[in-house]
Structure 1
Amino acid sequence: SARLFALQGPTTCAFATQIGDGVALQSFSNKSEKISTTGLRWQLDKESLANFETRGVSNIAIENQVTVSVELGQLLVIHESKGTS
């Protein structure tokens, strides 16, 4: 199953995951700025994503909680659970 979080900066979102779950980040505005993450294989540290970039679309949870923060812009966070329903 998948969950979608729509973030409007400045804000932080934390959610429970299982190790190995998929997490994707996609800017919903022209550019989302100062994005930071924890709990993901490929961390972001105050980085920017433009709405056409694919750099944030394929990440993997390495902890049981993921945190995503964005300072400016709109950011979509998609959590795809590997667990069975």
Structure 2
Amino acid sequence: MRRLQRVAQLTPEESAKIRPRVESAVKQMQSIQIQAMQQGSDALDAALAEIETGLNPDQQKRLEHFRERRREFLQEAIAKREAQR
């Protein structure tokens, strides 16, 4: 909002008038980002599941560890985005 205020040289009254719409747009963008993160993660999970079948047991174990760490990272990233809402 600050950048918009500065670039458009908004008055305090104009800023107050458009603030709800800008905040609504930001929330929509955050929801879209979360959905995209989840969809991307689902796509990667599907690919890794296919790849896993061609690996030896040690490689499968390493891949599973990678998948667990990635899931944790994703959950943290989503939680961070949701906290910003």
Q: Give the TM-score of the pair, scaled to structure 2.
A: 0.22
The structure with the greater share of residues assigned to strand is 1
The structure with the greater share of residues assigned to helix is 2
**Higher normalized contact order (CA 8 Å, seq sep 6+, divided by chain length):** 1
Q: Give the TM-score of the pair, scaled to structure 1.
A: 0.22
